[in-house]
Structure 1
Amino acid sequence: PKAPRSSGGGSTTLVETMMSTPNTTEYRRSIINRIDMAHWKSSTKIEALVEELSRHRQGNANIKSIVFSQFVNFLDLIQWRLNRAGFSVCRLDGRMTPQQRNAVIQTFMTHPEYTVFLVSLKAGGVALNLTEASNVYLADCWWNPSVEVQAMDRIHRMGQYRPIKVTRIIIENSIESRIIALQVKKQLLVSSTIGRDKKSLDHLSSQDMQFLFTS
């Protein structure tokens, strides 16, 4: 059954309206408005996420999770699928105004019926405190490990008293496997070299590109 909507969730209603009203720029740009959703087939990743979140919901209906992705279109598809699985979802991405951003964060933190927060990886990397969540899902890989770590730190803040579980959802034997290997390589390089500038994590060298795309 679909989770109940809070009568006080006006902030999330604002965001949902922004994404669902045809005369808004956000709606026109959304992949949901550009493909035939009646014939769209969900991906392995999205179904794995739905399965995980459903399992958590069966064990504890109030457990909260954050899903990070670097792709706004992917978040659109995840949101569409989760809504149809009965989840009440909050959403934060770079298209939102500061007022909308603050309102949706407050809704997620204070309304127990909203159990999933979809967050654009970079939009959610700073100035967030999401200690109500205890599960983090990384829906895709970012080659810079520090970006992912910064995002995960959003729930490792003062006031967090729950154990935290972080899950990567990756496709084996794909470029994502190479991205994970590159992350490890960069982290080891920084940690093993005394005085090395950590800014080396923040850019892709020609060697990195060759590693990612050479079979």
Structure 2
Amino acid sequence: MIQHVIQEHFGETVHFLQGSLRKQDRDNIIDSFQDGQQKLLILSLKAGGTGLNLTAANHVIHYDRWWNPAVENQATDRAYRIGQKRFVHVHKLITTGTLEEKIDEMIEKKKSLSDDIISGENWITELSTDELRDLFTLRKDWSE
């Protein structure tokens, strides 16, 4: 459906890369996008997350949210590759009051929790040499 709408709007053929494509077809689609013959490319989230180099892209639009943010990040990273010369804009389509909105809320909560855990470890980098030494030194009085 999204492929049809985009083709109608822009008046040009838009390829849809998905896991069921033969390798040769997939490679041809990627090559035509990378060399500028195709300006638009739609990928399924799973197909977009596996070993692709899409540095011709400067906009990534997630139209189907996934429970695991790492899956979306991996798909986004196809555009953030060595050789990327432009800023990459990431967009997420979320319809209010739908499952996508609930998934987005859940993902944001997970990210916040993850950030809190990771930033919670920064205290160790702020310790002095003496404090680090004290932290890792065994004391005799502990065993008594």
TM-score by length of 2: 0.74
- 2:87 maps to which residue? 163
Amino acid at match of 1:92: L
- 1:105 maps to which residue? 30
Unaligned runs of at least 5 residues, structure 2? 119-144
1:129 aligns with 2:49: no
1:180 aligns with 2:119: no
Identity, in percent, stands at: 38
Q: Please give the root-mean-square deviation of Cα atoms over the aligned residues, in Å.
A: 1.5
- 1:148 maps to which residue? 72
List per-residue Cα deviations over 1:20-44 (Å, max 9, x = no partner).
xxxxxxxxxxxxxxxxxxxxxxxxx
Structure 1 Cα separation of the partners of residues 46 and 66 of structure 2? 10
Structure 2 Cα separation of the partners of residues 128 and 159 of structure 1? 13
List per-residue Cα deviations over 1:57-107 (Å, max 9, x = no partner).
xxxxxxxxxxxxxxxxxxxx1222222230331221011111211111111
- 2:40 maps to which residue? 116
Structure 2 Cα separation of the partners of residues 181 and 82 of structure 1? 27
Structure 1 Cα separation of the partners of residues 33 and 15 of structure 2? 6
Q: What's the CA shift for 1:124?
A: 1.3
1:91 aligns with 2:16: yes
Unaligned runs of at least 5 residues, structure 1? 1-76, 195-215
TM-score by length of 1: 0.51
List per-residue Cα deviations over 1:93-143 (Å, max 9, x = no partner).
011111211111111111x34111010100110110000010111112111
Structure 1 Cα separation of the partners of residues 2 and 39 of structure 2? 14
Contact 2:45-2:64 at 8 Å conserved across structures: no
Aligned residues: 117
Amino acid at match of 2:76: M
Q: What's the CA shift for 1:147?
A: 0.5
Structure 2 Cα separation of the partners of residues 181 and 99 of structure 1? 38
Q: What's the CA shift for 1:186?
A: 1.8
Specify which of 77, 82, 103 is matched with residue 6 of structure 2.
Answer: 82
Structure 1 Cα separation of the partners of residues 85 and 44 of structure 2? 25
State the SS of the aligned residue for 2:40.
strand
- 1:210 maps to which residue? none
